[in-house]
Structure 1
């Protein structure tokens, strides 16, 4: 009696991290899973309803959870392990706000295939960042001394959301830093990828709107703008940035840039918060934690 051949392993898996999704975000996640032919892995860091989780599973998604908030880095690593176990070659990472079509996933897959002919293999390729209405898009500094490859630009780092990761490269570069918990996870991993002989690339031919924070803080006098974040997140950003200065794979040029930029950001954030002493103490605590190497769950995490 003949049997049907086993299905080939997926070339690309989709990984989505969620944390306290609102009704619109949960509905968008359900719609994404229903429309996506590729296997989807969802990591719930807290707040996904049992009803939504059951709906996702009925439509083929795998829903993971540690039963608590383990941070972005830990969630991404759990998704990457699950995708590798399923036989996927690449993993497209998204957060719960990302509006990224299946066609765009195919564009990144094609871009990663084009990069395989380079001397330095690509670890990750991601879309051009755009600002969603009322938000600030991240900026990806160009990697020096490496030429473009058509529409692909070598960059120092990419946000994880929207990034297509080569899982073979991930296995060699190592996992995301779970002790960073939330901010700087993508930056540190990409610098580590470059140091270990891999490349990080931005595909300028496709874009992803970013919705980080709750608005934008701007200073024309200082010439900077930044997402408006809760104090625990701003403190974690400062902590991880300061700690990263001691890592040998983080370029000195980046450390010097941050040393000049972080005090301005902290001042702008404090001013936006009404110069409240409690906010300044929270930010200073984050800097001290970075200097002392105290990582993990940030102080004041909801």
Structure 2
């Protein structure tokens, strides 16, 4: 049976940071030779995997092997896709279990959303379960009705999303001073504020996870990703800074204001109430409230 052709107007964008050789091989095997693949090297690609990338058909590697953060990588990939004449960009991280068929189905979904008001900026898949990890939840956008079996959502993860590059130009680039966490959340809220919309296709699902596991409260129905300390600190900082942004809705700010102290407490508990952990998170909270962003001093190179 012949496989359907992938969309010709779409390039694939993948950000690599310390991937395994297997993760690199999966991207090459699934996409190289079928779609244009743009890869950003944020560092740590094994030498044998790097050689495989360099020999892959239709694959372009960007970046210098230094960790510039997810936002800077995504912006560079979007710029390269626009320069190459593509109208859409299928964003993936190294863990994403996606295929050209996923890109085609999301392209069909973006076409179905084209008549929505406000017009779409991106469409993404529903999160499929992944053992040992907490799947993300994408809250529905109040006041916007579903369309063509698609659901309007406040935000989606960048990985697995199909972005309309004309909308990307209107909304603006991802915030590089966020470096990594909440980059997608802030961009989607900005898209809604600038007259664009974000949609989830329940008929398309890929596994998605954050961190290295899940932290669960003992007596409350609360779960959160378990991440390295620098990641958790950046999340706290960027969340606190989001309270300063006018395009982030008050309903989301109130929810996070209640939830963030609980997350800090759970994370601190997981790390046996180590004073240095609490000090790092409280310092990050203060940085966010004061608007001191940028690359974290303890971010891996």
Contact 1:30/1:52 (8 A) holds in 2: no
SS at match of 2:11: strand
Q: Give CA-to-partner distance per residue, 1:88-123, whole Å, 9 cap, x none.
A: 110000000000121111110001011112231100
1:116 to 114, 122, 132: 114
Note the alpha carbon deviations across 1:144-171, whole angstroms, 9 max, x for none: 0111113200000000000000000000
- 1:232: how far off? 0.4
1:246 corresponds to which of 241, 244, 247: 244
> Alignment partner for residue 217 of structure 1, among 210, 215, 221?
215
The Cα shift of 1:26 comes to 2.5
Residue 50 of structure 1 and its aligned partner are, at CA, apart by 4.3
Match of 1:38 in 2: 35
SS in structure 2 at match of 1:169? helix
Supply the distance in 2 between the matched residues of 1:175 and 1:151 (Cα, whole angstroms). Answer: 29
1:223 Cα deviation from its structure 2 partner: 1.9
CA shift for structure 1 position 220: 4.0
Choose the corresponding residue for 1:49, options 35, 41, 46.
46
Structure 1 range deviating more: 242-251 or 212-221 = 212-221
Residues of 1 paired with 2:276 and 2:26: CA distance?
Answer: 37
Q: Distance in 1 between matches of 2:87 and 2:71?
A: 20
After the TM superposition, list the runs of 4 or more consecutive aligned residues in structure 1 that deviate by more than 6 angstroms. none
Matched ranges for 1:128-147 at <5 A: 128-147=126-145
When the two structures are aligned, how many residues end up with a matched partner? Answer: 293
| Structure 1, unaligned runs of 5 or more | 1-8
Note if contact 1:212-1:227 (Cα within 8 Å) is conserved in structure 2. yes
Q: TM-score, normalised by structure 1?
A: 0.94
Q: Which residue of 2 aligns with 1:262?
A: 260
Q: How does 1:76-91 map to 2 (within 5 A)?
A: 76-91=74-89
The CA RMSD measured in Å over matched residues stands at: 1.4
